[in-house]
Structure 1
Amino acid sequence: MSATGAAIAAIATAPGRGGVGVIRLSGSNLLPLARCISGGKTPVPRTVLYTDFVDENGQAIDSGLMLYFAAPASFTGEDVLELQGHGGPVVMQVLLSRCLQLGVRLAEPGEFTKRAFLNNKLDLAQAESVADLIDASSRSAARMAVRSLKGAFSQHIRVLTDDLITLRMLVEATLDFPEEEVDFLEAADVRGRLAQLQGRLKTVLQSAEQGAILREGMSVVLVGAPNVGKSSLLNALAGDEVAIVTDIAGTTRDAVREQITLDGVPVHITDTAGLRDTDDVVEQIGIERSRKAVGEADVALILIDPAEGINAKTQAILNGLPPLLKKIEIRNKIDLSGEAAETVSDGLKFAGGADTLIKLSAKTGEGLNLLKQALLDKIGWQGGDEGLFLARRRHLAALHEVEAELENAALCGSGQIELLAEHLRLAQAACGEITGEFTADDLLGVIFSRFCIGK
């Protein structure tokens, strides 16, 4: 594959003022354009050129550094030009307009990385890790994104693919000699090779699932009757006064969101407005948003006031929770009840179908560490990031498809060689979807459209 089309340009630095602003260009034969912008100077590949950036009349727009990377030794595999000037929004826009005036078009989101993929500078998993590195919300996620960018995830997929190709070769070779197929498959230990492949896939899938947790984090909602301490718990988890706390029911009139990090895992917490019937129009809107947040959450923390227990209002809230939502019951205010902080998980069902109960005090912080560990346990986080790599939902879906095809292959009898070969072919195709070897154009459009402009 190779990228085609006009040269592209975009501001590669973040919007706003900065000491330095960068405009990136990619295309074929960019040297004439470079000479126009630099007032006749010719940049040497991979050598910094300090120059004025000039307009069509030779007047200086800005002065800065010009870097030229000749194809194919560049990020995109094409000629790449970088103009590093002063980071004011106006001067960047004027300089970008000058580039467009010279026949370059504005880059689409992610188009530089897409061209790198199409020119075989990166595979699809590596290309996606560029965006993941930019979006990383913790050091662990950033480290894992770099591993993926360097090809760690892709290497695992290549090993799986190579093993599948070898297995397919052995199986399909028997199709030409049907009278000897059983002896041939036994001699080649196809069953044993298939079992080894399934074991290797299981290891990759486990790492990918952990990487997906670290990339996407989890969404947590605090639910309960008004004035049971939801806002206090949010403040305690966030370590800051992000929500207003009063003794007045209905103080939280809209969903309040905050992000924290637990063992490198981003946790998106939503303090919902107390779910209740109300005539207040503004509060009704907040309650509706809260119900939406509950529907999208991974885990619900159900707060119960020990003094009141589960009254009619609380029971009505519990009845409205999605049955498959993971739930933890929180018995808050142990500083008032005199109870000790503890986690109870004895298989009993607690409030709303929760299987875990935690006693804590949002006011004093006693028991908060128990809650944090319980949250990580709920999403299956095993701790640490050594050897892991970031993965996306589509990667997991493809790996699960490979897993299903290998399971189907293992069920094939000695007289079903054609069926065995087909399941192995489908498994290899699913592996190829991860790295982009077999990827539909519409999927590429979706993936790269989510990148920022300039990447």
Structure 2
Amino acid sequence: MSLARREDPIVAIATAAGRGAVGIVRVSGRGLAPLVQRLLGRLPAPRHAHYGPFAAADGQPIDQGLALWFPAPHSYTGEDVLELQAHGGPVLLQLLLARCLEAAAETGTPGAGARALLPGLRLAEPGEFTERAFLNDKLDLAQAEAVADLIDASTEAAARSAGRSLSGAFSHEIEALRGRVVHLRMLVEATLDFPEEEIDFLERADARGQLDAIQAALAAVMGRARQGALLREGLSVVLAGQPNVGKSSLLNALAGAELAIVTAIPGTTRDKVSQTIQIEGVPLHVIDTAGLRADEDASDEVERIGIARSWAAIAEADAVIFLHDLTRRGQPAYEAAEAEIALRLAAHGVQRLVHVHNKRDGVAAEVVAALPAGEIALSAKAGEGLRALRHELLRRAGWQAAAEGVFIARRRHVQALERTAGHLALAAGHAAAADAALDLFAEELRLAHEALGEITGRFTADDLLGVIFGSFCIGK
């Protein structure tokens, strides 16, 4: 967004589309007082709710509601903010929105030189209120992102973690790391500026010890950030295997609902069926795919397309459940197809592969006992063994059930922390060298410092801001 448009006053309906008990119209900008007086007939006391009429230009009532006036800088955006809380009918809110735009264009005093009360008032773009809060230092970038994450949270654990990030818990950790890196940078660069003092910097300043402590603190933050990224984004899990091994039954069992058609006819599932479930607060996006077999063995073109989509889903999955049928174990044709699928999974570079054997209720106990260690036997039909599968999926994802102080995080946060760790590792290498290159040491510390700054917005390109705030809802 251009700098000029960032100066415009903005207005939007700040509540979700549709009918509701209460709806909010929000206005933000500089010098809103004349508009507030025109809309309400008075300038209310700041930060107090005032009940009264909202009237059209001709004085006819639109609604009765609450008005809240927040003069700058004590507001969400850091600018003047007016909130009109009315009954939540879509038509009513559109009338209030139109009245705000109309009143802004009205002249303050009659006469040839009169100007509009609030020239340039326009509809807000997605996320523009929160973007202004960031630009006016009311929130840092990690906190601003947490606003959207709190709204979008799909589990209680994700909501609590987003709340911690919004309160500044994640940002405080990042700023503490940045402060320690800055201190070390100061010592290194001071030594570079005064080489004639011939101070054995690495020993006297305990630079290596400081660096080790920073790396240990970073590792702890990275661990919690990865947990937070899991809470926000969840884990994509694909159910793969031959036709009629019970993939659809397993999806239904995990979801606790009849989502997929289950029959004894191979090829019943022709396309992907998806469901999001949660395990210990972590969203799992489970995808049931068409049964895998050689393309030439598929019964028709529709099934061949379904199989191709199955392999595409497998290539993008965070984890793949390779489901086997215990009742067909040892049959030559079945085992040959299993070996072919295993080879193709390896060719697709599948890393998190979980071997699960279904229909344990249909075989003898010794068959289950003979399975390789670490592989799971269950009965999707009877619901046996599902708990072990859920825990294994969380373990493969890296989730720690007892993790404390998890804050919501995004992939970009984790990537920035990983880049920081890489630069600190290079800095440690330079410090450990026999002929320690302090200039290279200092440069890696500078790059680590900048990578951390990207998380809170200290070093952020405008195009990144557009991507981040463009994903918000209008009115927030």
TM-score (norm 2): 0.89
Structure 1 position 205, deviation (Å): 1.1
Q: Distance in 2 between matches of 1:233 and 1:188?
A: 59
Aligned to 1:364: 382
Aligned to 2:307: 287
Identity of aligned residues (%): 57
Give the 5 Å matches for 1:34-73.
Answer: 34-38=36-40, 40-73=41-74
| 1:442 maps to amino acid | D
Q: Secondary structure at the match of 1:41?
A: coil
| 2:99 maps to amino acid | R
The answer to whether the aligner puts 1:318 opposite 2:342 as a matched pair is yes
Q: For the structure 1 residues 94 and 279, does the alpha-carbon distance in structure 2 shift closer, same or farther, using more than 3 Å as the test?
A: farther
Contact 1:252 1:274 in 2 (8 A): yes
Instruction: Pick from 313, 329, 338 the counterpart of residue 355 of structure 2.
Output: 329
The answer to whether the aligner puts 1:299 opposite 2:319 as a matched pair is yes
Cα shift readout 1:317-369 (whole Å, capped 9, x = no counterpart): 433332233111111011111338789664xxxxxxxxx42110001111111
Q: Secondary structure at the match of 1:220?
A: strand
Contact 1:9 1:107 in 2 (8 A): yes
The answer to whether the aligner puts 1:420 opposite 2:441 as a matched pair is yes
The answer to whether the aligner puts 1:338 opposite 2:338 as a matched pair is no
Q: Secondary structure at the match of 1:75?
A: coil
The answer to whether the aligner puts 1:130 opposite 2:147 as a matched pair is yes
Q: Distance in 2 between matches of 1:344 and 1:189?
A: 54
The answer to whether the aligner puts 1:259 opposite 2:276 as a matched pair is yes
Contact 2:36 2:43 in 1 (8 A): yes
Q: Distance in 2 between matches of 1:328 and 1:343?
A: 17
| 2:231 maps to amino acid | L
Aligned to 1:349: none
Q: For the structure 1 residues 170 and 238, does the alpha-carbon distance in structure 2 shift closer, same or farther, using more than 3 Å as the test?
A: same
Q: For the structure 1 residues 342 and 369, does the alpha-carbon distance in structure 2 shift closer, same or farther, using more than 3 Å as the test?
A: farther
Q: Distance in 1 between matches of 2:372 and 2:89?
A: 57
Contact 1:343 1:359 in 2 (8 A): no
Q: Secondary structure at the match of 2:17?
A: coil
TM-score (norm 1): 0.93
Structure 1 position 415, deviation (Å): 4.2
Structure 1 position 393, deviation (Å): 0.8
Name which one, 1 or 2, has greater alpha-carbon Rg: 2
Aligned to 2:404: 386
Aligned to 2:25: 23
Structure 1 position 285, deviation (Å): 4.2
The answer to whether the aligner puts 1:406 opposite 2:417 as a matched pair is no
Contact 2:12 2:97 in 1 (8 A): yes
| 1:207 maps to amino acid | R
| 1:92 maps to amino acid | L
The answer to whether the aligner puts 1:440 opposite 2:470 as a matched pair is no
Cα shift readout 1:67-96 (whole Å, capped 9, x = no counterpart): 111110011101111111111111112222
Q: For the structure 1 residues 384 and 99, does the alpha-carbon distance in structure 2 shift closer, same or farther, using more than 3 Å as the test?
A: farther
Contact 1:342 1:370 in 2 (8 A): no
Aligned to 1:88: 89
Q: For the structure 1 residues 61 and 291, does the alpha-carbon distance in structure 2 shift closer, same or farther, using more than 3 Å as the test?
A: farther
| 2:459 maps to amino acid | F
Q: Distance in 2 between matches of 1:343 and 1:111?
A: 60
Instruction: Pick from 32, 35, 53 the counterpart of residue 34 of structure 2.
Output: 32
Contact 2:320 2:350 in 1 (8 A): no
Aligned to 2:111: none
Aligned to 1:350: none
| 2:136 maps to amino acid | N
Q: Distance in 2 between matches of 1:108 and 1:149?
A: 22
Contact 1:53 1:61 in 2 (8 A): yes
Q: Distance in 2 between matches of 1:130 and 1:93?
A: 25
Contact 1:175 1:181 in 2 (8 A): no
Q: Distance in 1 between matches of 2:341 and 2:24?
A: 52
Superposition CA RMSD, Å: 2.1
| 1:244 maps to amino acid | I
Structure 1 position 27, deviation (Å): 0.8
Q: For the structure 1 residues 336 and 344, does the alpha-carbon distance in structure 2 shift closer, same or farther, using more than 3 Å as the test?
A: closer
Contact 2:315 2:350 in 1 (8 A): no
Unpaired stretches in structure 1, ≥5 consecutive residues: 347-355
| 2:474 maps to amino acid | I
Pairs aligned (count): 445
| 1:25 maps to amino acid | V
Instruction: Pick from 168, 171, 174 the counterpart of residue 157 of structure 1.
Output: 174
